Chains A and B, each alone.
Chain A
Amino acid sequence: MANIAVEERIHAARSGRRTRFGLSDETRAGWLAIAPWLVGFAIFTAFPFLASLYFSFTKYDVINPPQWIGLDNYQRLFTHDRLFPLAIRNTFIYALMYVPLHLVASLSVALLLNEARHARGVFRTAFYLPSMTPAVATAYLWVWMLNPNDGLINRTLRWLHLPAPAWTVDPFWTKPTIVISQVWMMGSAMILFLAALQGVPKDLYEAATLDGAGRWERFRSVTLPMISGVTFFLATVSIIASLNVFTQGYVMFDKDGGPQNSALFIVMYLFKRAFGSGYFQMGYASAIAWILFLMILVITVIQFRLSKRWVYYEHEGG
């Protein structure tokens, strides 16, 4: 009896009395605690999400009420718009360059750092600091660094008698220009890789060495599988980020997409149609947003599917 009374008291302490609405104190507290997020989700996520789907089927200039036009926006985007397919192409070329380079660069530096026993903190700071630089300052810095005539990079290349590309002027080189400035900011990816590398159990390497595995074999058979969780996370996030590229292209190439629109990306084009002077085509821009969303959704789903083949999770739900 006494036992039951104690248990009841603990239970009462944990979940509280039921109120007149039949909710326990705990349930009420839970919903109250997450209430800010629920309200924000309704106003700033769920509603805009559905509204932009609706707008994408309308013609809407903010001043006059939206006018339903069915699939016209989508049809025009793919058949009558010269710039939209170009923006998609540019965005994907950029992503294809940026994502692998970003992952390889940050992993390589992390591997080097992981080897170093001395002064690791100093090196880590040197590689991390660039990612603290604000995006607009980074854009200016690299436009100036890669200035075809007077930039530090081309001066160095000419000094070494190497070809010096017209980075910011030649349509072929505008995307690499942005890629370089972004790979420079790989700090947080590098830190994540470093943490993952330090988490690989040492005895795995020792066992592999006993089995006669060389350096490369150990990297391929131990390191890569053991850090695949982090690699997957970084790949997912950086693909999404690169498909949403905006600020760099906008600031580096004076808003318009650069020479021959070679730096016109999907979100820049969306922005131009929605907020560019003389446009305010909210319906058309919403259709662009939804195409972007669907592309990202498909890519992310495929990635999650594929991840089952190559991502190794030690703990369940890791």
Chain B
Amino acid sequence: MAATGKTLAPASSARPAAAPAKMATSRPEKPRAWLRPGTLATYAALIVLAVAFCLPFVWLVLSSLKPADEIYAGTWLPSRWMWSNYADVFHAAPVLDWFLNTLLVTTLAVVAVVMSSSLVAYGFARIRFPGKRPLFALVMGTYLLPGAVTLIPTFLIWNKLGAVNTFWPLWAGNLFGSAFYIFMLRQFMLTVPQDLIDAARVDGAGFFRIYWNLMLPLVRPALVAVAIFEANAKWDDFMTPLIYLNNPNNYTFALGLASMKDSFKELGTQWSLLMAASVVFTVPMMVLFFLFQRYFMEGVTHSGIKG
């Protein structure tokens, strides 16, 4: 076993030499390759796993449509389809307010972070100035810094500014760019040919004209990827609103949904309503995903990860 491992090592360093051998070794693809037992097993495993991954969604939606007394009955399908649960959710709590609050915060956060991160990324990618390298290392350092360390003083700052119980702390930090997006956009901007920029310079365009008229249009797919990552992150965010908001009409959806269970305390948890609210909360993210699937995959692949 170890011997095979060793013989493999030189093979990897001699890759160019291995390439011509490729023609000789590639056997003609068997017809109906998918009928081979190994391939069938792969598809069987994939189907079982995919069903297992999707079942929770099915269960969630079905639970949300059950009458309250049937939720514990253990049947899959509701005996009566309670579409009214969805109307009831909006009456049981200020769900519409939460929805609109979240939409507002998310929109502001997305616009702010796209504008600021792209400008900063442009500076790091395409402008030469002293101090650039150490500063960029600092940007990456802040990416690994856990938020818990800055949490309390940040709260004290917003408290001093009288911004507790407003939406400012939920999005205004985005005006200053975000390390991960700066990194990601910089990677994309580095791929823009220098000739294009030089040509624009000779034509008399300033650095910010180049940013606005040349760079931004060229990296639009990356901007879209950043926008949907951030939309997902802000839609999701629970801890920040938990710290800063304490008036139920001001809640974001995440905070409101989490508070719903408490409000049921005396009556016992009404799972079907909770599930219906969860569906309402989740659907916009699903829509976002299906609309921008391509950008999502590209964004994840090219850069790293979402929080």
Chain B nearest Cβ from A191, distance in angstroms:
5
Contact A37 B71 (CB under 8 A): no
Do residues A137 and B49 form an inter-chain contact, with CB atoms below 8 A?
A: no
CA distance A40 to B266 in the complex (A): 45
B263 contacts chain A at the CB level, 8 A cutoff: no
B137 close to chain A: CB less than 8 A: no
Q: Tell me if A247 and B153 are in contact (CB < 8 A).
A: no
Contact with A along B124-164 (1 / 0, CB 8 A): 10011110100100110010111111111111110100000
What is the bound-complex CA distance between A57 and B57, given in angstroms? 48
Determine if B304 is an interface residue (Cβ-Cβ < 8 Å).
Answer: yes
Contact of A26 among B129, B257, B289 (CB under 8 A): B129
Residues from chain B with Cβ under 8 Å of A234 in the complex: 305
- CB-defined contacts of A237 to chain B, threshold 8 Å: 304-305
A140 and B59: CB pair below 8 A? no
Residue B92 is within 8 A (CB to CB) of chain A in the complex: no
Let me know if B104 is at the binding interface, CB within 8 A: no
Q: Are A116 and B43 in contact (CB under 8 A)?
A: yes
Interface residues on B, range: 35 or more
Q: What are the 9 A-B residue pairs with the smallest beta carbon separation, nearest first?
A: A40-B176, A33-B123, A30-B129, A48-B153, A29-B207, A48-B150, A51-B153, A30-B127, A126-B50
Interface size, A (range): 35 or more
A118 is contacted by which of B34, B116, B123, B154 (Cβ under 8 Å)?
Answer: B34
For the complex, is A155 an interface residue (Cβ under 8 Å from B)? yes
A37 touches B177 (CB 8 A): yes
Contact of B176 among A41, A116, A133, A300 (CB under 8 A): A41
Known contacts: A37-B120, A62-B159. The answer to whether A241 contacts B307 by CB under 8 A is yes
Bound Cα distance A1, B206 (Å):
27
CB neighbours (8 Å) of A27 from chain B are 128-130
- Given contacts A144-B275, A237-B304, A286-B152, A44 and B147 within 8 Å (CB-CB): no
Binds B, one of A70-78, A92-100, A163-171, A214-222: A214-222
Nearest A residue to B271 via CB reads A144
Residues of chain A touching chain B, judged by Cβ–Cβ distance below 8 Å, are: 9-10, 13-15, 25-27, 29-34, 36-41, 43-45, 47-49, 51-52, 55, 62, 109, 112-113, 115-118, 122-137, 139-142, 144-145, 149-150, 152, 155, 184, 188-189, 191-192, 195, 201-204, 206-213, 217, 220-222, 233-234, 236-237, 240-241, 243-244, 246-247, 250-251, 254, 266-267, 270-271, 274-275, 282, 285-286, 289-290, 292-293, 296, 300
B97 at the interface (CB under 8 A from A): no
Contact count A vs B, C-beta below 8 Å: 309
Q: How far is the CB of A69 from chain B (nearest CB, A)?
A: 16
Task: Check B124 against A115 for contact (C-beta < 8 Å).
Answer: no
Option from B59, B63, B207, B254 in Cβ contact (under 8 Å) with A33? B207
Residues 28-65 of B, flagged 1 when their CB comes within 8 A of A and 0 if not, give 00000110000100110110011001111101100100
| B285 contacts the other chain (CB 8 A) | yes
Q: Is B211 an interface residue (CB 8 A)?
A: yes
- B282 near A123 with CB under 8 A, answer no
Give the nearest-CB partner of A234 in chain B.
Answer: B305
CB distance from B36 to the nearest CB of A (A): 11
- B305 and A189 contacting across the interface, CB-CB below 8 Å: yes
Contact in complex: A188, B57 (CB < 8 Å) = no
Residue with the greatest number of chain A CB neighbours at <10 A, chosen from B45, B297, B307: B297
